Chains A and B, each alone.
Chain A
Amino acid sequence: MNYYVFQIKTALKDFERSKVRTFLTSLGIMIGVFSVVILIAIGIGLRNYIEGQFESLGSNLLFVVPGNVLGEDGSFEGFSPDAFMGSFDDRDVSSLERGLEGVEYIIPLYSNSVTVEQGAESESATIFAGSADVFAALSLEAEIGDVFSDSDVGKKSKVVVLGNKLATNLFSDINSAVGQNVRFSNQRYRVIGVLEEKGGGGFGGPSFDEGVYMPYTTTYSNLNPDREFQELYIGVTNEEDVDRVKEDAEEVLQRRYEDDEFSVVKQTELVNAINQIFGVINIVLVAIGSISLVVGGIGIMNIMYANVTERTKEIGIRRAIGATEKDILFQFLAESIMLSLLGGISGLLLAALVVVIVKPYFPVGLDMAAVLIAIGISSAIGIFFGVFPARRAASLTPIEAIRYE
């Protein structure tokens, strides 16, 4: 034990002697670990956020989306280009309404990005145009005023309900929003309500708090003249009927579309698909972050080689007074591992600090596995990149080393 304490103290003494060099050498690893941990944190945060949004919708919901999204085994196949274009219409809604039993509602959903103007203010927002059931399906409630009704849908009323954040950004006082008009796409719409805050950030998918909610029929006149919908939501009355309704819906849609032109997806399948996508995204992010770790490791190797040359005489002295090759190997290896760990732990602390600061504004999450991987990787880098210089130090014969000037 004392021997290891001695070796660690020896390494620390060397760091103390060359503080700037120690700092600069560990900086590479610090940046690498910071990038990896932060990128994983962002990946995890986004996944949790989007997963949370879909989970909050309830497991009795079915999504009808264009293209073949899920494979035979229910695994995620990828979005087809069609997935981003509207390809359902009123006819599909009617045939589903006729052909399905045990269904509470079917919501056609049209969404688009717009710039909403109110007085001198203007804000980017996402339109969620659906039937009046959209609020129940998305678990949204009005904080001020009211949401639109079936009658508004029937009358194609030019009314909107604003997400909480959007209303806050457009109006100095959201209590005054109801009854006022907002403009987008050269049309004027009356605000009839402001929703309760739903939470979450706006990355990876539109935020409900920044949405404009309106009857889908209202979009026909201007925004959606082709009367197409990107998605249909089917609310199943009893959760145990979800699989049956899914099969029935597929049967109904097959009368009009080919198998690969649409998908009926359960909420659980969607969550699994999201997990898969983010799994891949995370691997890519970590691979990118790891490049800086490797660069940092090379920096350590470089400095350790310089260190061996600079301290050749010292190595000779230590050998003369009884140090074995292994002692010298361990000394230099301990130094490179400690340099790496120093960088790794600093990077981790910095990442944790950034996560704490950013968390209220952006969905990030520190993962214990990421922390352990970061520390593991930085130790491994210390060993891998330290072992060559350390072996060179250990292989010097005492007399060669002691004579070195």
Chain B
Amino acid sequence: MITVKNIDKVYKVADGDFYALRDVSLTIKDKEYVGILGTSGSGKSTLMHIIGLLDKPTSGIIVISGKDTKDLSDAQISKLRGNYIGFVFQQFNLIQKLSVLENVLLPTQYSKEKLDFDVAKYALELLEKFGIADKAKSFPNKLSGGQQQRVAIARALVMKPDIVLADEPTGNLDTATGDEILKLLGTLNHDLGVTVIVVTHDKSVAQKTDRQIFVRDGQIVNKY
């Protein structure tokens, strides 16, 4: 479960403070499929980064899997991020000099604990499931956008995380491919029981999730 309580994110700007998020509180239960919907600049991505422990709030509390993250060290936060959270980005964010399989396996290299499953086998299984097993040795720049996003999803899943955070996962894809990716994210939630949070500006994308949270001007609102 993810609990966000009274989060503020404030940036210093020339004419004072800018609130990217103001007093945001929300709860996302285990195995939920949630869409966070907001226009550009609404603060939805900042919210995702804070939930994903990529950024720290100015004030407020985030509890992930029962752990209050406020006073954790960098190593503890990195471990939490690596073990519990998988990320899918609009820009795919694959490392170009690594092959598809190496990209997928990368999170396992940073795990300081011995994993209780065969990571190489599991990575190949994921690629197989996503229909890109034949691209395992290819490099990202040889793949289509849809294929690259599948690789990114496989990378997000390789540590068997509880939560997958997807930031505009269809933003760089055509409609048909975008639909396939959303279907895939839905499958992760329904079949594997992973909590999936999709951040988007697109109503039709958000509608594919089970629950929508609307963000406007840094605050949670009832309607888009």
Contact = CB atoms under 8 A, between A and B. Distances in A.
B205 interface: no
Nearest to A324: B78
Interface stretch (B58-66, B81-89, B213-221): B81-89
Interface string B102-125: 000011011100000000000000
Nearest to B158: A321
Interface string A1-35: 01100100000011001000000000000000000
25 contacts: A2-B109, A6-B109, A13-B97, A17-B97, A313-B93, A317-B94, A318-B95, A320-B81, A320-B93, A321-B81, A321-B87, A321-B110, A321-B155, A322-B82, A322-B83, A322-B159, A323-B78, A323-B82, A324-B110, A325-B78, A397-B55, A398-B54, A399-B49, A399-B55, A402-B54
Given A324-B75, A402-B54, A318 B98 contact: no
Contacts of A13: 97-98
Nearest to A401: B54
A2 B111 CA distance: 11
B167 to A, nearest CB: 10
A261 B134 CA distance: 90
Nearest to A6: B109
Interface in A118-148: none
Contacts of B52: 320
Contacts of B109: 2-3, 6
Interface residues of A, number: 24
A132 B38 CA distance: 108
Contacts of A152: none
A325 to B, nearest CB: 5
A322 B81 contact: yes
Interface string A298-339: 000000000000000110111111111111000000000000
B31 interface: no
Nearest to B76: A324
B79 A322 contact: yes
B78 A319 contact: yes
Nearest to A394: B74
Contact of A314 (B74, B95, B107): B95
> Which of B74, B75, B109 has the most chain A CB atoms inside 10 A of its CB?
B109
A17 B93 CA distance: 18
A326 B73 CA distance: 12
Given A324-B74, A399-B55, 7 more contacts: A13-B98, A313-B93, A321-B82, A322-B83, A324-B75, A325-B75, A397-B54
B74 A318 contact: no
Contacts of B111: 322
Interface in A367-405: 397-399, 402
B110 A320 contact: no
Question: Which 10 A-B residue pairs are closest in the complex by CB-CB distance?
Answer: A322-B82, A324-B78, A322-B110, A321-B107, A399-B55, A398-B54, A399-B54, A6-B109, A323-B110, A324-B75
A324 B93 CA distance: 18
Interface string A218-243: 00000000000000000000000000
B93 to A, nearest CB: 5
Contacts of A322: 78-79, 81-83, 107, 110-111, 159
Interface string B19-31: 0000000000000
A58 to B, nearest CB: 67
B81 A317 contact: no
Contacts of A397: 54-56
A2 B89 CA distance: 28
A322 B79 CA distance: 6
Contact of A320 (B54, B74, B79, B97): B54
Nearest to B56: A397
Contacts of B83: 322
A22 to B, nearest CB: 13
A17 B87 CA distance: 26
A326 B81 contact: no
| Residue from the set B78, B79, B95 with the largest chain A CB neighbour count within 10 Å | B78
Contact of A318 (B54, B56, B106, B159): B106
A304 B83 CA distance: 30
Contacts of A326: 75
B97 A14 contact: yes
A402 B93 contact: yes
B87 A320 contact: yes
A399 B165 CA distance: 14
B111 to A, nearest CB: 7
B110 A318 contact: yes
Contacts of B54: 319-320, 397-399, 402
A318 B107 CA distance: 8
Nearest to B84: A322
A2 B79 CA distance: 18
Nearest to B105: A6
A399 B52 CA distance: 10
Contacts of A313: 93
B108 to A, nearest CB: 9
Contacts of B49: 399
